[in-house]
Structure 1
Amino acid sequence: MSNGLAGRTALITGASRGIGRAIAFALAASGCNVVLSSRRQDSLDVVAKEITAACPRSGVLAKAAHVGDPDQARDCVAAAVAEFGRVDVLVNNAATNPYLGPMVDLDLPRAHKTVEVNQMSVIVWTQLAWKASMAEHGGTVVNIASICGMATEPPEAGIYNTTKAAVIHLTRQFAVELAPKTRVNAIAPGIVRTQLSRAMWENREQQLAATVPLGRIGEPEDIAKAAVFLAGDDSSWMTGQTVVVDGGTLIRPTVHIA
């Protein structure tokens, strides 16, 4: 059940924890060689050892890079190609949320940081993977967006929501530009149990779960399963789409009629 992924090479940003780590494990379990990227080499090395132990047939490369630094991104993609010959799957997962508050009070440094990591990195890493490998060999790109890019709640996360809305549109735009050789799709998770979203679910998980039709918040593995589907051949006639994985959060009734 490799979904055609056996022997392919996947590069995952933000791979040291949370959703990125889960996606890396799932792709390795599907037979991919995996290139792990995040800011800290020591954290990546731990994950690399865990994946190697669990999936000994998959090659693993851990390469630290700041996702918002184009030079470091270029070095990481080059290292992936040098190690495995090509990049078949790119998962743009890394994200940040340094500001919680109304947009009218947002300071420019934190606005620039959020856009750099959440939005511009999708452009830069996709460009690099395309030019280094996918233009010749084809491939798939999976962008991690958010249901917050489809709605206006929570209002204190306005700049984060805005960048995730941009990721959804970038997915469509790149899908048009890179077709037919490369497919580009996105996943829009709901609230998932990660460090990035801890402020949203910690100390009120039961309250949040009660608002989700399927009765719980998400786990990183829920998103990883969707990523494997979009990365592999089972989704071969899909591009430009954003798959919502949120336990039904977006379909919950917002108006109650007596």
Structure 2
Amino acid sequence: MNAQPSAQQQPPASGRTALITGGSRGIGYGIAEAFIARGDRVCITGRNADALQEAVHRLGPDRAIGVAGKAHDEEHQANAVELVMEAFGRIDFLVNNAGTNPVYGPLAELDLQVARKVYETNVISALGFAQQTYRAWQKENGGAIVNIASVAGLGPSPFIGAYGMSKAAMVNLTVQLAHEFAPRVRVNAIAPAVVKTAFARALYEGREEEVAAGYPLGRLGVPEDIGGAAAFLTSEQSDWVTGQTLVVDGGIFLKAGLH
């Protein structure tokens, strides 16, 4: 991860605030870094209070706060939004990044309780945070929402079918919210391929060169790749973009013939 700039290096405050779920590490943390780098303030959420505190310290406690809890817990969603409004007075951007993938195997053998847990965490929580943020700030003041989907939701993904199903739902949730929340709130999604995080480690650990060789751009993703995409989708440069899913995949869909 990039080193946190010193106080003298901090960019001027933009006055904008982002709520990023699952932001203590990996893709969520990379997005938080990108927002901090352009002067935004951030609130990151996550299940582990100690990890959140450490992440806030790295991001800079003058620009970041953390709220611990489980993403699918409605009380946590409401509490996080309330704390952001108390601390910063606004929520310009919501990034729904929190997710889980606790199972690996064919759908024919999938425990339906596990499938429900995946859907609850990956999809229903995103809807809940979107509802809370919309009511608290964005309905009257506008803003942008970015949902972190996955290329697994855009085509067949053997052995991670439950995760892929949930991310396909996330893509459709993006379209539905973009339609309902227009014109004041833009809603888009990002669909990454394999990004080098602890969450995705099982997909490349011990064979990174082999996996990376399958990508036309010759490498796996890093959190900064997704951070840059999220920064774009919440910037003035994307003011005429809504309801879209931006694939950030190192070109892997080119080889799959899905573009």
Normalised to the residue count of structure 1, the TM-score between the two structures is 0.93
Q: Residue 5 and residue 214 in structure 1: after superposition, are their counterparts in 2 closer, same or farther (change >3 A)?
A: farther
User: Aligned equivalents of 1:62 and 1:89: distance in 2?
Assistant: 16
Query: In structure 2, which of residues 120, 127, 130 is the aligned counterpart of residue 126 of structure 1?
Result: 130
Quote the residue 1:206 is aligned against: 209
Contact 1:5 1:232 in 2 (8 A): no
- 1:91 corresponds to 2:95: yes
Q: Residue 134 and residue 192 in structure 1: after superposition, are their counterparts in 2 closer, same or farther (change >3 A)?
A: same
Deviations 1:216-256 (A, max 9, x none): 0110111100000001111000000000000000011559x
- 1:160 corresponds to 2:163: yes
Query: In structure 2, which of residues 82, 85, 92 is the aligned counterpart of residue 81 of structure 1?
Result: 85
Quote the residue 2:56 is aligned against: 48
Quote the residue 1:197 is aligned against: 200
Structure 1 range deviating more: 82-91 or 101-110 = 101-110
Where do 1:139-150 residues align within 5 Å?
A: 139-150=143-154
Deviations 1:186-214 (A, max 9, x none): 00001100111111010111111111000
Quote the residue 2:22 is aligned against: 14
In the TM superposition, what is the alpha-carbon distance from 1:59 to its structure 2 partner?
2.2
- 1:176 corresponds to 2:201: no
Q: Residue 236 and residue 204 in structure 1: after superposition, are their counterparts in 2 closer, same or farther (change >3 A)?
A: same
Quote the residue 2:228 is aligned against: 225
User: Aligned equivalents of 1:254 and 1:173: distance in 2?
Assistant: 27
- 1:37 corresponds to 2:45: yes
Quote the residue 2:246 is aligned against: 243
User: Aligned equivalents of 2:257 and 2:171: distance in 1?
Assistant: 23
Contact 1:212 1:247 in 2 (8 A): yes
Q: RMSD across aligned C-alpha pairs, in angstroms?
A: 1.5
Equivalent position amino acid for 1:87 in 2 = I
In the TM superposition, what is the alpha-carbon distance from 1:36 to its structure 2 partner?
1.0
User: Aligned equivalents of 1:7 and 1:248: distance in 2?
Assistant: 35
Q: Residue 180 and residue 254 in structure 1: after superposition, are their counterparts in 2 closer, same or farther (change >3 A)?
A: closer
Equivalent position amino acid for 1:60 in 2 = A
User: Aligned equivalents of 2:207 and 2:99: distance in 1?
Assistant: 23
Equivalent position amino acid for 1:50 in 2 = R
What is the number of equivalent residue pairs in this alignment?
247
Q: Residue 247 and residue 78 in structure 1: after superposition, are their counterparts in 2 closer, same or farther (change >3 A)?
A: same
Deviations 1:103-145 (A, max 9, x none): 1111122111100111111110000000011001111000000
- 1:112 corresponds to 2:92: no
User: Aligned equivalents of 2:69 and 2:36: distance in 1?
Assistant: 20
User: Aligned equivalents of 1:52 and 1:68: distance in 2?
Assistant: 27
User: Gaps (5+ residues) in structure 2?
Assistant: 1-11
Equivalent position amino acid for 2:221 in 1 = G
SS of equivalent residue, structure 1 residue 166: helix
User: Aligned equivalents of 2:58 and 2:65: distance in 1?
Assistant: 12
User: Aligned equivalents of 1:165 and 1:38: distance in 2?
Assistant: 23
Normalised to the residue count of structure 2, the TM-score between the two structures is 0.92
Q: Residue 254 and residue 180 in structure 1: after superposition, are their counterparts in 2 closer, same or farther (change >3 A)?
A: closer
SS of equivalent residue, structure 2 residue 60: helix
